Structure 1
Amino acid sequence: MTRLLIIEDNPELVANLYDFFEPLGYVLEDARDGATGLRMATQNDYDVILLDLMLPRLDGMALCHKLRQEFQNPVPVLMLTARDPVDDRVQGFALGADDYLVKPFSLKELDARIKALVRRAQGRQVQGALVWEDLRVEALAPQASRQGQAIRLTPTTHKLLLCLMRAAPAVVKKQAMEYLLWGDDPPESGALRTHIHDLRQQIDKNFTCALIETVHGIGWRLREPGVVVPE
């Protein structure tokens, strides 16, 4: 079962995509503006994102940049656009897009490209999991293990840990984590720190080497293998 997120403001095109892909067994969700699309992309798991360039509130280029740089989200992105200048394609690929299709396009060709992106993405994961040093985290279930010891995560700590794993060893900013969990309406300031504390309790408490490092005033990251940094 392949999950697609369609970020497209043309209702007729969105309807055509539903009509074509749902009978093939795809699960589709859609957003009609870039800000909503970014929130859905960071808060849910998808196999491929179909991303229009000309979007209200946040255009496709900016969305792709935020998805890759701020959230370190590796979900395959296929850009859909009515424009075909070479510079647009080069910029899209530079910002992290995986493929590019010019409107109007064949739905059969789009299906083939989606399948190719899914195969490629599966090859980048280790049996459906992400691995950092002695920590292994399942991508699709709130489960992890460290040094062979099973760790059951909450849905929230699972989201945070996946975000850290995908970004490692780069720092994930506090604002990006808040957006990941709550979108544009984060709760009072201590809520995120409480979830980070819970995550530390789950993956660091019973081990001699803590993996989660606080970068004061910025956010958090996973320590690089073999590097010891004092808290």
Structure 2
Amino acid sequence: MRVLVIEDDVSIATNLFDYLENAGYEVDLASSGPAGLQLALAEPWDVILLDLALPGMDGLTLCRKLREEAHRDTPVLMLTAKDTLDDKLAGFVHGADDYLVKPFSLREVGARVSALIKRYKGNVTAATLRCADVQLDLTTLAVERAGRSIKLSPKCLQLLRVLMQSPNRVFSRTELENEVWGEQLPDSDTLRTHVYTLRRALATPGEGDLIETVHGLGYRFILNDAHAS
């Protein structure tokens, strides 16, 4: 997953870059409006984080050009110190999908980025997730692999759902812990234990291991994109 951060405050941009990169995203930075628009149009992005007060071109103008002139529908999360209702409405009128007021929590940024990507890729309302030969029914919580029914604990089900909603993306340990356990974070070995249990439940002799440990980064559900639905 690729995120473009358009922010002229070096400290904020660096913090966002480090946090999102550690969460498994591929991140690039632009520090002015014109440079940000050029990058936004030159490459495919899953989300754009856009500051409003930018040199050369403000964020509202950039977002309007992205929508009305370039006809790009990439999700845009606006970041600004302006917190009045009129400021927020102006952002939405110019094409923003979400709005976050500074100072903000990096964890909230991560949650909003994840939510925007899910909506953009149509994974929010999908009744069933299918990755490779694994199927997760989000209504009944039934799991199958190649037609074989798999029984999972509630936490393993949540873990599988998160991984399957963004196949091939590397999730950091912190991100998975926040997604599955929320504010009541587990001890250091709990996530590893649940990943091991989920791996064993999904794989039988002759079937490939679909959950990969990316050393120093986290975990991902391995999938050829052509098989995602």
Instruction: Please indicate the TM-score interval, normalised by the length of the shorter structure.
Output: 0.5 to 0.7
1:114 corresponds to which residue? 113
**Shift of the alpha carbon at 1:22?**
1.1
Q: Write out per-residue CA displacement over residues 83-129 of structure 1, whole angstroms, 9 at most, x where no aligned residue.
A: 101111101101110000000001111101000100110019xxxxx
Residue 19 of structure 1: aligned partner: 18
Question: Any idea what SS the aligned residue of 2:5 has?
Answer: strand
Q: TM-score, normalised by structure 1?
A: 0.52
Which segments of 5 or more consecutive residues in structure 2 lack a partner in the other structure?
124-229
What is the rounded CA distance, in whole Å, between the counterparts of 1:92 and 1:23 in structure 2?
Answer: 28
* Offset from partner CA, 1:168-190 (integer Å, 9 cap, x none): xxxxxxxxxxxxxxxxxxxxxxx
1:71 aligned onto 2:70: yes
**Partner Cα distance (1:37, 1:30) in 2:** 8
Alpha-carbon distance between aligned partners in 1 of 2:102 and 2:14, rounded to the nearest angstrom? 15
Unaligned runs of 5+ in 1: 125-231
Q: How many residues align?
A: 123
Q: Deviations over 1:36-68 (max 9, x none)?
A: 100110110000000000000000000000000
Deviation at 1:19, TM superposition (A): 1.9
Secondary structure of the 2:64 match is helix
- Whether contact under 8 Å (2:17, 2:28) holds in the other structure is no
Work out whether 1:4 is the aligned partner of 2:29.
no
Counterpart-to-counterpart distance in 1, 2:77 and 2:71: 17
- Is the 8 Å Cα contact of residues 76 and 96 (structure 2) preserved in structure 1? yes
For 2:32, the equivalent position in structure 1 comes to 33
Looking at structure 2, the residues matched to 97 and 91 of structure 1 have their Cα atoms a distance apart, in angstroms, of 9
C-alpha separation in 2, matches of 1:100 and 1:49: 12
Structure 2 residue matching 1:21: 3-state secondary structure: helix
In the other structure, the counterpart of 2:45 is 46
Task: Name the CA distance, whole Å, in 2 between partners of 1:95 and 1:18.
Answer: 25
Offset of residue 17 of structure 1: 1.1
Tell me the equivalent position of 1:147: none
Specify the code of the residue in structure 1 equivalent to 2:69.
Answer: E
Identical-pair percentage: 52
RMSD over aligned Cα atoms: 1.0
2:202 — aligned with what?
none
Aligned counterpart, 2:95: 96
Specify which structure has the bigger relative contact order, considering alpha-carbon pairs within 8 angstroms and separated by 6 or more residues.
2
Measured after TM superposition, the shift of residue 74 of structure 1 is 0.2
Output the CA distance in 2 between the equivalents of 1:27 and 1:118. Answer: 14
Secondary structure in 2 matching 1:55: coil
| Whole-angstrom distance in 2 between the partners of 1:19 and 1:72 | 30
Residue aligning to 1:196: none
- SS of the residue aligned with 1:123? coil
Shift of 1:28: 0.5
The code of the aligned residue for 2:9 comes to N
Partners of 1:21 and 1:95 in 2: CA distance: 25
How many angstroms does 1:7 deviate by? 0.3
Q: Answer whether contact 2:64 2:94 (CA < 8 A) is retained.
A: yes
